[in-house]
Amino acid sequence: MLAPREAACHLLDVRLRVAVRVLAFVAFAIASSGARVLAESESRSGSAEHVPDTLIPIELRAGEWIAAGTCGMSGARHDFDTTLRLRDPDGVDVAYSDDACGGLGSRISFRATRTGTHHLALGCYSGGSCGGRVVWRVDDQEVPIPPVDWDFGFHARAMIGPDGQGLVADAWVAARFDELGGLVFRLDGAPMGLAGGIGGGLLAGAVQLTVGYDIGFVSFGIGGGATTLSRRAEGVQQREAAALAMRLTFGAVDDFHAGASVLVAFPNDDEIDFNLDAFASLPIGSVEILARAFYGMSGVSLGEIGVVWWPEGTVRRGVGLALLAGGSAVSYQPVCRFGLVCEATTYAGPHVGLGLHVRP
């Protein structure tokens, strides 16, 4: 047995150990709770499916900024014409958005003047049907809207015909500046064609730059360009001409859109050449279905359908891979005057192609 003094010391030691452990546990619990509170206060963002007539509660403190949208936010998506409203704690609308980001999406930015539960009200324009994904973020500073929306890419098609092989390619770069009221620049090439083999053949195509505005559902542009046509069989023959370019598009680049562009050239006083390009894109989940028809007096024509797969999902941003199939032709049509017989040279056949789309 322990002496009374030793027993008292042992009991005191046990009690001290227990007290230390209890204090350590309490400190750990407080720290964990504080970490969770801190994490919750710092994690002031979220997302949800855009379901019409849904109210999403969001806690805001006076002076905080909230940005929310079905476009203009990372991960946001809009299917058809969405709307967003922000309501204060009394249920009063303090912010509203319909057409934004140069399309049918919606995006609001608002600085709270009161502390309390605000609500995001999800809807569709004129009571129609819509969907997508809404993303929101709360911060002490205003969440900036991306100043430039880029879209660029490249397509290449291998043509196999009975009279020879060919390559048809096109590329584009487009930029929309929201801070400049939706100003749009687009530099693209009407499909360039090379056909006829190594020893001869044809090289034809056009390049054009248009400048215009995206006013929501409609974007338009006007500019200039040039066409070129070369024939290398039986000696080099080449013709170039300046051209007037026009473009009209309905829809948004990452949503359904369709449109056309035309390039009108005047290679001679009594001749007019033109390129006509009609196109459409229909998004379905993480893919886009493409359709295109191009007729070019400069020497290239094609008709094709295709699909673009976006690995990042239904947002349809990042890098998309395109697969194309259809038919194309590369031809040389000389100018016919004074009743002379025109001798045209044409290479045509089915084609398959690959492409790359990039939307940062």
For tokens 């090289």, name the residue: 203
Round to whole Å and give the CA distance between 251 and 283: 12
Round to whole Å and give the CA distance between 167 and 228: 16
Q: What is the pLDDT of residues 212-252, one digit of tens each?
A: 988 767 889 999 888 776 554 455 566 677 889 999 998 77
Round to whole Å and give the CA distance between 160 and 148: 40
Q: What is the pLDDT of residues 110-145, one digit of tens each?
A: 999 989 999 999 999 887 788 888 888 898 888 776
Round to whole Å and give the CA distance between 331 and 193: 9
Q: Amino acid identity, residue 100?
A: A
Segments of the chain assigned to CATH 2.60.120.380 = 45-139
pLDDT of residue 33: 44
Round to whole Å and give the CA distance between 78 and 257: 13
What is the second-level CATH architecture of the domain 148-359? Beta Barrel (2.40)
User: Is 0.85 surpassed by the pTM of this model?
Assistant: no
Q: How is the chain split among helix, strand and coil, in percent rounded to 5?
A: 10, 60, 30
Percent of the chain surpassing pLDDT 70:
73
Round to whole Å and give the CA distance between 78 and 281: 15
Q: What is the pLDDT of residues 322-355, one digit of tens each?
A: 999 999 988 765 555 555 555 667 788 899 999 9
Round to whole Å and give the CA distance between 214 and 176: 8
Segments of the chain assigned to CATH 2.40.160.40 = 148-359
From 3.40.50.150, 3.40.109.10, 1.10.260.40, 2.60.120.380, which CATH number describes the 45-139 domain? 2.60.120.380
